Structure 1
Amino acid sequence: MGKTVTTYLIDGDPKGTQYAFISNKICQMFVVPRSNLSYLNTQEKLQKPAFYILLGEDESTKPQAYIGETENFKERVKDHDSKKAFWQKALIFVSKDADMTKVDVQYLEHKAIAEAKKANAFILSDNKQIPKAPNLPEHQQDSMDEFFEDVKFLASFIGCNIFEISQPKEEHLFYTKGRGCNAKGYYNASGFTVLKGSIIIKNSVPSLNWKEKRESLINEYTSTHNNVLTLDTDITFPSPSTAAIFCMGRNTNGWQKWKDKDGNTLDTVYRKQLE
């Protein structure tokens, strides 16, 4: 079923301040860059109970985020601005029809941290524990569950995959083997995902140009069992070649190296879709 998303670019910049909402839904998402916090002064909705995500980068292997709730985002963000260096923009979620309560946003925070930890796509350094779920009447919990589904959709709509857990179909799996490597994964709009349990080659060839980054990924995502380096969690790369290079420790063409169970290369399978 299709959805209509209304997006308004406050300053005409697709990377700038904006808000978005789904037609016939109450969830509204504001995207506010750290460089434009003065915008908060113009929106009364952002001075009331809200659920929010701070997004940014660090020197590690994954993007970083902080998930929180507040009774007044405008006031709460002052503390984050002075104490948290990593973030560049905030996603703030409010109800566009009626104000949410403190308990509502606490429930959203509980669900969001639990699902973000499960997806494991972002570092949550300051969300080490999953907060206890507050007590909500059954009808209100159902309402907030529906609201959170819209939160996930809107976050994904702007390219934030913090909650995304893809479920690959067996017929779409691709494999690569060689030099002790035995990995499998799948390709979709997010890139190429190497699946948990894949066996990765430990050492990189000297000519590999992102050797240090690969070693960081290995340290974070793998463990050794019976002298075999095994991937502990799914990890998504921007391209099939990057995924293959990570698995094999050498430069290679992932479009040719990944093959399905019938021996068809990834290149062949996806080129056929255009014929």
Structure 2
Amino acid sequence: MAIIDLKTLTMQVINGDPEGIKICRVAGSTLVTVVVPRQILGEAKALPDIPKRGIYYLLDDMQGRLRRVYAGQTVKGILRLDDHNSRKEWWNKAVMFLAPDSEFSMDVVSGLEALAIQYIRRHGAYEVENSNDPKPYIDPYTEAFIHSLHDDILFRMTLLGFGLDAIGDEGHAAVGLFHTTRRGVRGIGRYDAAEGTFEVLEGSMIDLDRVPGSRKSPVKSLVALREELEGAGGIVPGEGPLFRLARPVSFTSPSMAADFVLGGSCNGWTEWVDEEGRTLSDIFRSTPHAGEG
């Protein structure tokens, strides 16, 4: 008979409100998970005996669909959310993963935060609000522990209905994503209308056989970027002659993003389309233009 691997999760619902504060624990672990709706942050701060060290996610959550995510670290426990409550308007829920100081050294906290930020940048069909990319020194003796903690956190987030791994083969159909399929090259990306930037997402196909621009007049910055990414493992072999992007890359315009993926010289405003076939120009411009603008 096969051995059944079980995990026992206990959940405390404060004041019996299923939409309110929740405290979750897994048997055998000192890690405490606290779900804090922003509108009742004051109640959460009054909870007794909550550990202080760990990481947290700020979420823009719409009935389980994440639209924005921010990951950070704390040594103040729930009180850390006061700063975000006064400075960040977009979030409506926080999920915190906290442990006693004796269990979490600052090296563990910093390493866990870096891993969390790296993960949400690569795996989410949502906007990532982190502008920094921390690279702390991780003691090789604690690296396995940090990765096991992160796996536990991903497990708990999924159980709570906040799965962070929203991009997969089916995640590309999510609202707000665009693709291009010229010559069978499927690139996936997201446009930031406020910043005017376009992010090409992990998993996008890249046609390295075609030079951005032209053979006579290549776009040197894009050629160099492709070479840099390929050398660093950011572009890896894919299907047939195509390559695959292994990490997200942001560009200052949709056309630069299209040139990077497809090669040649492209009008990104008409090249990138959503799952209904609407172009960026159709959605974000009242009057289509042939040029970049």
* TM more than 0.5: yes
Distance 1:15 1:62 in 2: 16
1:248 counterpart (277, 280, 283): 277
The question of 1:69 aligning with 2:51 is answered no
Identity across matched positions, percent: 23
Query: Cα distance, 1:151 vs. partner?
Result: 0.5
Query: Partner of 2:23 in structure 1?
Result: 19
Structure 2 vs 1, CA of residues 191 and 98 (structure 1 numbering), >3 Å: closer, same or farther?
farther
Q: Deviation of residue 13 (structure 1)?
A: 2.2
Answer yes or no: is the 8 Å Cα contact 2:21–2:35 preserved in 1.
yes
2:136 is the alignment partner of 1:133: yes
Q: 1:16 to 1:75 in 2, by over 3 A?
A: closer
Q: Which deviates further from its counterpart, 49-58 or 85-94? A: 49-58
Q: Assess, with a 3 A threshold, how the Cα gap between structure 1 residues 74 and 215 changes in structure 2: closer, same or farther.
A: closer
Native 8 Å contact 1:70 1:102 kept in 2: no
| 1:199 paired residue number | 181
The SS at the match of 1:248 is coil
Give the TM-score of the pair, scaled to structure 2.
0.56
Matched with 1:36 is 40
Q: Does 1:149 align with 2:178?
A: no
Match 1:158 to one of 160, 166, 169:
160
Partner residue in 2 for 1:204? none
Q: Distance in 1 between matches of 2:122 and 2:93?
A: 23
Which moves more between the two structures, 110-119 or 88-97?
Answer: 88-97
Amino acid at match of 2:34: F
Q: Is the 8 A contact 1:9 1:16 kept in 2?
A: yes
Cα gap change, 1:193/1:75 in structure 2, threshold over 3 Å: closer, same or farther?
closer
- 1-10 or 65-74: which moved more? 1-10
Distance in 1 (alpha carbons) for counterparts of 2:59 and 2:21: 14
Specify the SS of the correspondent of 1:246: coil
TM-score normalized by the length of structure 1: 0.59
Does the CA contact (< 8 Å) of 1:26 and 1:147 recur in 2?
A: no
**Which whole-Å CA distance do the structure 2 matches of 1:76 and 1:30 have between them?**
13
Q: CA deviation at 1:98?
A: 5.3
Matches within 5 A, 1:1-275: 1-38=5-42, 39-46=44-51, 48-56=52-60, 63-95=67-99, 99-125=103-129, 127-136=130-139, 138-166=140-168, 186=170, 199=181, 223-224=257-258, 225=262, 229=271, 246-249=275-278
Partner SS for 2:145? helix
TM-superposed deviation, 1:44: 2.9
Which blocks of at least 5 consecutive residues in structure 1 are unaligned?
167-184, 201-213, 232-244, 251-275
CA–CA distance in 2 between the matches of 1:68 and 1:96? 17
The C-alpha deviation readout for 1:65-98, integer Å capped at 9, x for no partner, is: 2211111123322211111111111111013795
Cα 1:215/1:120, change in 2 over 3 Å: closer
Conservation of the 8 A alpha-carbon contact between 1:68 and 1:109: yes
Partners of 1:158 and 1:12 in 2: how far apart?
A: 16
The amino acid of 2:135's aligned partner reads K
SS in 2 for 1:32: strand
